[in-house]
Structure formats: C-alpha cells, structure tokens
Amino acid sequence: MAPTPASLGFRMPPEWAPHRGTFLSWPHKEASWPGKFAPVPPIFAEMVRWLAPGEQVHVNVADGDMEQAVRAVLRAARVSELNVYFHHVPTNDAWCRDHGPVFVQRQRPDGAWEEAIVDWGYNAWGGKYPPYDLDDQVPARLGEELGLRVFHPGIVMEGGALDVNGRGTLLTTESCLLNPNRNPHLSRAQIEQYLRDYLGVTHILWLGDGIEGDDTDGHVDDLTRFTDPHTVVTMVEDDPRDANHEPLRENLARLREMRDQDGEPFRIVTLPMPRGLWHEGQRLPASYANFYIGNEVVLLPAYDPERDGVARETLQRCFPGRRVVPIDCTDLVWGLGAFHCVTQQWPALPAG
C-alpha cells in the first residue's frame, strides 16, 4: 500500500490561510450559460481585478490563442495583468473548485515546508454533463507543470462538497457524498476514511440536503462555510412556503448539536437566502454562502439588492481584515454556480 498524505503529515489548509494564488479555469462552454454566455467572461475579469492586487491569479486556458483572447478581455475591462499567470491546461468547463487541484502541505523533519496535490476523480457531478475527461486531468497536468507530487485517491470527490476549519474538522453533506452517482461501492465510513487519509482531517461532520436548483446534489459551499476555526456561517430561509425552508432549518438544527474536533460547540452566524431567483422557469441555486475568501478580499455573489447588504455586513464582521466585495452574479449563477464554484485556492507555504 502506498503511503497516504495524512500518514506523511500532509493536511489541507483552510481557505482563509494565506494564499500564493487563486486558480481559475476560464469560461468557454457556452452551453453552461445557454443564451447568456456573453456577460460571464467580464464577471471573471472583475474577479481578477479584485484578487490580483493581493495574490497571484492562475488561469487555465486551452492554448496560446485562448490565452490571447483572455488577455484581450482583461485589457477591455482595464484589468492589470501584472499578477496573472496562464497555464495551457485545457478544460471542458469553468468549475475549478470541483475539477481543480486540492493543495495539501506538511512540514518536513528538517523544518522546511512542502506541498502536494490531491487529484480526486471527477465525473461532472454524477455524469450529468459529459464530456468531462479534460477536467478530470487538470490536477495531474498542473502537478506535472509545477513539479509537485500528486496523490490519486481513486474515488470521485469535488472541492465544493467539503469545507475544512484547519484544525481537523471537515464539513460535508449526506445528499452529495452518499449519492450513488459518485462512489456507489463505498460506505459512509469508507468515504470518511478517504477524507482522513487524503486531507489530514480527523473529525467529519455531516449536514443533510442542499438547496433547490443545485445540480451538484447538495454541495456544502451553498449551505454552510467555516469563517475561522470556531465559526460557521449558514444559510436560512424564513419563508415556510419556500422549498429551501425545511432543509435549511434541518441543517441549522444539526449544526447546533455539532461539536468541533475538541468537543466545543461552534459559533453559528446565519445568512438570509436571497429571494428566489428564476430563469426560463428554472430555480437557480443563488446563495450567499458561495463566497470566496482571497488574501485581501472576500468575493460575495450578489443577487438581491434588499438582502445583499445584510449578507455583506454579516460577512464583513466575520472577516474584519478583508474587504467584502459584492459582485452581481445573476448572470453567472445561470450556470448553476458562483464565485466559490469557479475558484480554487493555492495556499502559500508557511515560512520555515
């Protein structure tokens, strides 16, 4: 048996830990935003505008021609390219949270830090959107380019399905990880063991169902997120007539009973759901929990002017050292995801 990352001392840092950079896979699949693709690249450019002053931005593109096209989009939006780096790694789609590299770190006996990549299998959320062969290759190709060791668990897993607090606790959902369209041969206990072995966590907590319109079968990054080792923000829907009311009420009840890796209860902060957002008769998975934590900013998806401000003020209290930046995502979420879904952090190595 090959050694696992955890047995070698590797662990996954939390998202708020200092970043070397952020990975994006530039959008190009118009079918992911049918009839509404044109606004999407400018939204990515706006993300780069806010992230690049505080960290590197690494962009996956198919080739040199696509790189030049993306540079033209950035120039048209008057976005500096000084801290932007391109990787000729072709993708099927733009959801880098789920197909991108998951970085883990360890401190060697000599005191130096090193990093590696975990390359989960990727099947486009249970085979919903073929082809996905290029997306499945992204972590291994980046590992080869960056000269990093790559671990291959051999099971399907997506970055948006889990969140860690950096102290040993991982939060996920039953509706996603236990769905037979991912790993039907694995039990709950076996899935937990893979998470321990490959991410270095010790304590796994399970929420229930996701929100309406979420084609990922209930990713946790639309529900509940860690904002520090002891605090979670979680979505709530006050309207009992809304389809999201009951599953979010149930998840909140579970959170109140949960304890962290040290047996301590969490500080729970609630976020209101934006009012229902629909397009062409389809409920969209609009959620303020799909924010992304950068070095200097928190990118907040905005959907609802009357409730965006409450979400921004709530998250600003959670992240006093970062600026919470609301950006309109009513077009982006037609692809059924927002800022967290299209980003993947590259943690900085600690000094040592």
Residue 121 has pLDDT above 90, yes or no: yes
Q: Give the whole-angstrom CA distance, residue 329 versus residue 339.
A: 8
Q: Give the whole-angstrom CA distance, residue 301 versus residue 193.
A: 33
**Mean pLDDT computed over every residue of the chain:** 97
Residue 352 has pLDDT above 80, yes or no: no
Does 18 sit behind a cis peptide bond, omega within 30 degrees of 0 on the bond before it?
A: no
The pLDDT of residue 174 is 98
pLDDT band at 343 (very low <50, low <70, confident <90, very high): very high
Residue 1 has pLDDT above 80, yes or no: no
Q: Give the whole-angstrom CA distance, residue 225 versus residue 31.
A: 29
Residue 206 has pLDDT above 80, yes or no: yes
Q: Give the whole-angstrom CA distance, residue 284 versus residue 211.
A: 9
The pLDDT of residue 351 is 86
- Of all residues in the chain, what percent carry a pLDDT higher than 70? 100
Angstrom CA distances, 204 to 164, 193, 240, stand at 9, 10, 30
The pLDDT of residue 342 is 98
From the list 96, 318, 329, 341, the catalytic residue is 341
pTM of the complete model beyond 0.95? yes
Q: Give the whole-angstrom CA distance, residue 292 versus residue 226.
A: 11
Residue 2 has pLDDT above 90, yes or no: no
pLDDT band at 295 (very low <50, low <70, confident <90, very high): very high
Closest CA to 82 of 112, 119, 55, 116: 55
What confidence tens digit (pLDDT) does each residue in 244-260 have?
999 999 999 999 999 99
What confidence tens digit (pLDDT) does each residue in 321-334 have?
999 999 999 999 99
What confidence tens digit (pLDDT) does each residue in 39-71 have?
999 999 999 999 999 999 999 999 999 999 999
Q: Give the whole-angstrom CA distance, residue 209 versus residue 174.
A: 7
pLDDT band at 185 (very low <50, low <70, confident <90, very high): very high
Q: In what order do the strands lie in the sheet with 267-272?
A: 224-228, 231-236, 267-272
Closest CA to 155 of 177, 130, 129: 177
Q: Tell me whether residue 176 is one of the annotated catalytic residues.
A: no
Query: For 200, what's the count of Cα atoms within 13 Å in the CB-facing half-sphere?
Result: 23
What confidence tens digit (pLDDT) does each residue in 225-282 have?
999 999 999 999 999 999 999 999 999 999 999 999 999 999 999 999 999 999 999 9
Count Cβ neighbours within 10 Å for each residue of 304-330 and write b for 16 or more, e otherwise.
beebbeebbebbeebbeebebbbbebb
Q: Tokens 């960290």 correspond to what residue?
A: 55
What confidence tens digit (pLDDT) does each residue in 77-90 have?
999 999 999 999 99
User: CATH 3.40.50.720: does it fit domain 6-347?
Assistant: no
3-state secondary structure the chain: CCCCCHHHCCECCCCCCCEEEEEEECCCCHHHCCCCCCCHHHHHHHHHHHHCCCCEEEEEECCHHHHHHHHHHHHHCCCCCCCEEEEECCCCCCCHHHHCCEEEEEECCCCCEEEEEECCECCHHHHCCCCCHHHHHHHHHHHHHHCCEEECCCCECCHHHCEECCCCEEEEEHHHHCCCCCCCCCCHHHHHHHHHHHHCCCEEEEECCCCCCCCCCCCHHHCEEEEECCEEEEEECCCCCCCCHHHHHHHHHHHHHCECCCCCECEEEEEECCCCCEECCEECCCCHHHCEECCCEEEEEECCHHHHHHHHHHHHHHCCCCEEEEEECCCHHHHCCCCHHHCEEEECCCCC
Q: Give the whole-angstrom CA distance, residue 225 versus residue 171.
A: 8
